[in-house]
Amino acid sequence: MSAEPLEIHLEEQDLGRNLRQDVRAGLTAEEKWLSPKWFYDARGSELFEEITRLAEYYQTGAERTVLRDRAAEIVTVSGAKTLIELGSGSSEKTRLLLDAFTRHGDLGTFVPLDVSVSALRESTARIAADYPGLRVRGIVGDFTRHLDRLPAGGRRLVVFLGGTIGNLLPAERAEFLAAMRAALESGDWLLVGTDLVKDPAVVVPAYDDAAGVTAEFNRNVLRVINRELGADFDPAAFEHVALWNPEREWIEMRLRARHPMRVQVLDIEVAFAAGEELRTEVSAKFRPEGIAAELRAAGFVTSEFWTDPAGLFGVTLARA
Ligand code: AVJ
């Protein structure tokens, strides 16, 4: 079947309003920040795909190993009729699940949801072409805001891969999981991928690769703001920083001003001191007991927790 037209729950103006609010709040804060949501324009999505192919970025390969080894089990345990993927991007790893559902399952519909129209257009077309008989309904939306728009009914499995849940701050994560549970009915399932706490000597290079792809990805957020809001950031004037925070057990990406500067954005003038940093992303790393506790607090029951053989990355299957 060809993919159905994308369902747009995030209109251009909605996206623009959300971006303006975020930029205003983040750039006028004492400690400046921007949401990682805004990395993913067409160029940012491409750069992220490039990151997943880097030797230093162990997550993608580790998660793929788990999905490959456990796909059949995920299919039989969940018995899903509808597969919903949040922050689906290219849906590359999800094919392991779609393949298993094709062999052992009874899946009728695949619903990828992403903020990136470009990524979604490509992925829905390719998946519809490769899985004849599967109904593919792409939704343009924001998983922190549009969980109430997910298709109802059937036995649903929601997958949230890539460790993207780690890009939410702890309070946002609790809110997200509660909203996720509220959007599901008991008997539905959640599959969530989480990067695990490990030696910072392994984690830091994953966010500061030798080829500088992550640095470009980080600076791309400034290009997005320039284009969308007519700002005049000079991306080259910012240095990429990846820092391990041992108390919070998360990576922080920042952009550090190389010299003092003033940036015009919206109706504000934002001053940066030399060396001042703008936080662009938090990427939390998890411990197995922490994941289970957060899921439990939101009303989920953990059914399975798997890691790759090296114990780098965790995948949890939980029941609503
Ligand atoms: C896969 C979206 C969770 O936090 O590791 C990659 C994004 N940031 N390199 C992550 C990302 C820097 C990524 N997510």
H-only helix segments in the chain: 12-27, 42-52, 58-78, 94-104, 117-130, 170-183, 200-206, 213-229, 288-297
- Atom 3 in ligand 1: which residue has the minimum CA distance? 164
Q: Which of 49, 50, 167, 285 to mutate to test the pocket of ligand 1 (most atoms within 8 A of CB)?
A: 167
Distance of CA 87 from the midpoint of ligand 1 (Å): 12
- Atom 13 in ligand 1: which residue has the minimum CA distance? 164
Amino acid at 283: S
* Strands 313-319 and 301-307, bridge-based pairing: antiparallel
Share of the chain above pLDDT 70, in %: 100
Tell me the whole-structure pTM to 2 decimals. Answer: 0.95
- Atom 12 in ligand 1: which residue has the minimum CA distance? 207
With a Cβ cut-off of 6 Å, ligand 1 is lined by 51, 59, 162-164, 166-167, 207, 214, 281, 283
Which pLDDT does position 234 carry in this prediction? 98
Question: Of 44, 64, 61, which Cα lies nearest the Cα of 52?
Answer: 61
Question: Of 41, 193, 14, which Cα lies nearest the Cα of 114?
Answer: 41
Distance of CA 165 from the midpoint of ligand 1 (Å): 10
Distance of CA 284 from the midpoint of ligand 1 (Å): 10
User: pLDDT tens across 192-238, in order?
Assistant: 999 999 999 999 999 999 999 999 999 999 999 999 999 999 999 99
**pLDDT above 90 (res 9):** no
Share of the chain above pLDDT 90, in %: 86
DSSP string for 104-146:
H----EEEEEES-HHHHHHHHHHHHHHSTT-EE--EE--TTT-
Which pLDDT does position 193 carry in this prediction? 98
Atom number, ligand 1, closest to the C-alpha of residue 195 = 5
**pLDDT above 80 (res 177):** yes
**pLDDT above 80 (res 19):** yes
**pLDDT above 80 (res 90):** no
Identify the H or E element spanning 271.
strand 268-272
The DSSP secondary-structure symbol of 55 reads S
Atom number, ligand 1, closest to the C-alpha of residue 165 = 3
- Contact yes or no for 44/213 (Cβ under 8 A): no
Among 10-24, 137-151, 288-302, name the one with the lowest average pLDDT. 10-24
Classify the phi-psi angles of 119: left when phi > 0, otherwise alpha if psi is within -120 to 50, otherwise beta. alpha
Distance of CA 300 from the midpoint of ligand 1 (Å): 25
In the predicted model, what is the mean pLDDT of residues 83-108? 92
| Helices 94-104, 117-130: crossing angle, 10 deg rounding | 30
- Atom 2 in ligand 1: which residue has the minimum CA distance? 164
**pLDDT above 90 (res 153):** no
**pLDDT above 90 (res 264):** yes
Distance of CA 283 from the midpoint of ligand 1 (Å): 7
Q: Supply the Cα-derived Rg of the chain in whole angstroms.
A: 19
State the complex-level ipTM.
0.98
**pLDDT above 90 (res 15):** no
- Atom 14 in ligand 1: which residue has the minimum CA distance? 164
In the predicted model, what is the mean pLDDT of residues 237-246? 98
In the predicted model, what is the mean pLDDT of residues 121-140? 94
- d(CA 40, CA 97) in angstroms, rounded, equals 24
Task: Find the length of the chain.
Answer: 320
Which pLDDT does position 98 carry in this prediction? 97
